[in-house]
Amino acid sequence: MSGERSGGVPSVGAFDITVLAMAKGPCLVLLCSGKRKSGKDYVTDRLRDRLGPDVCAILRLSGPLKEQYAKDHGLDFQRLLDPSEYKEKYRSDMIRWGEEKRNEDPGFFCRIIVDGASQPIWIVSDTRRRSDVDWFRSSYGELTQTVRVQASEATRRLRGWAFTPGIDDAESECGLDHGMSFDWTITNDGDSEVLNDQLDTLVDFIKLKLTQWEHAS
Ligand SMILES: Nc1ncnc2c1ncn2[C@@H]1O[C@H](COP(=O)(O)OP(=O)(O)O)[C@@H](O)[C@H]1O
Ligand SMILES: C[C@@](O)(CCOP(=O)(O)OP(=O)(O)O)CC(=O)O
């Protein structure tokens, strides 16, 4: 169940849970959002560390977006994935490019990232727009839960953030600021004990859902 591996080979438990997830669909879809440098990637990575990669998939809407944008513009896809200045240089144009795609088809990136996900717990690490939330809610209904990662501007500045007009005041950063009530809010201001306590509570909830899901016919 925990996805433990022995000698690099998936355990029977891990295999079973994958088969179950492929047959039943996901157990829980966590839609994670937060401002730049709030720690969305950090927090979602820590959640997956606790649950194990056989149980938990991190799905990034920006993954297929960056991949196609990199191909079209002759850029280094891997470098666009890092929390680096390279990504920041292209962010504004990637936003414009992604919005063109979403305007044609709001589910475009959502469908790509869920395709083939074989784990029961899905964490979408970068939900930014109401259309993303709407797509997941209409596709997975009550399996969806929203998670907001929160950090103060001071903390985000320490992590390299600086307010950039056209980005920090646009839909990409502000699309979920109003009209949403989040199921979970994780405060990630640098105190690891505070963060761990919040993750413990969320992981307990996820494990409970997993147990119910495994035993439901
Ligand atoms: N609780 C934390 N402890 C240590 N470093 C953190 C923490 N949260 C975020 N960071 C670091 O801050 C930077 C920005 O975090 P990241 O997860 O990339 O933010 P986002 O995905 O929201 O832009 C990264 O270098 C990350 O490792
Ligand atoms: C064009 C983007 O997808 C770029 C997002 O890149 P990341 O998801 O890596 O960003 P942060 O983690 O918040 O720094 C934004 C969008 O509006 O789609």
Looking at this predicted complex, what is its ipTM?
0.97
- At residue 3, does pLDDT exceed 80? no
Ligand 2 atom nearest residue 170's Cα: 17
- Is 96 assigned to a binding site? no
pLDDT digits (tens, 9 = 90+) for 168-208: 999 999 999 999 999 999 999 999 999 999 999 999 999 99
Tell me the mean pLDDT in the region 158-169: 97
Percent of the chain with pLDDT over 90: 86
- Is 41 assigned to a binding site? yes
SS3 of the chain? CCCCEECCEECHHHHHHHHHHHHHCCCEEEEEEECCCCCHHHHHHHHHHHHCCCCEEEECCHHHHHHHHHHHHCCCHHHHHCCCHHHHHHHHHHHHHHHHHHHHCCCHHHHHHHCCCCCCEEEECCCCCHHHHHHHHHHHHHHEEEEEEECCHHHHHHCCCCCCCCCCCCHHHHCCCCCCCCCEEEECCCCHHHHHHHHHHHHHHHHHHHHHHHHCC
User: What is the structure's pLDDT at 1?
Assistant: 39
Tell me the mean pLDDT in the region 109-128: 97
Per-residue confidence at 217, pLDDT binned at 50, 70, 90? low
User: What is the structure's pLDDT at 90?
Assistant: 97
User: What is the structure's pLDDT at 13?
Assistant: 67
| Mean pLDDT, rounded, of the chain | 93
CA of 62 to the centre of ligand 2 (A): 6
Q: Is 126's C-beta closer than 6 angstroms to any atom of ligand 1?
A: no
CA of 203 to the centre of ligand 2 (A): 25
Shortest-distance Cα residue to atom 26 of ligand 1? 42
User: What is the structure's pLDDT at 6?
Assistant: 34
Shortest-distance Cα residue to atom 3 of ligand 1? 190
- At residue 2, does pLDDT exceed 50? no
- At residue 89, does pLDDT exceed 50? yes
Q: Is 83's C-beta closer than 6 angstroms to any atom of ligand 1?
A: yes
Q: Is 39's C-beta closer than 6 angstroms to any atom of ligand 1?
A: yes
Pocket probe for ligand 2: among 38, 62, 101, the residue whose CB has the most ligand atoms within 8 Å is 62
Ligand nearest, relative to CA of residue 150: 1
pLDDT digits (tens, 9 = 90+) for 21-74: 999 999 999 999 999 999 999 999 999 999 999 999 999 999 999 999 999 999
pTM confidence score: 0.93
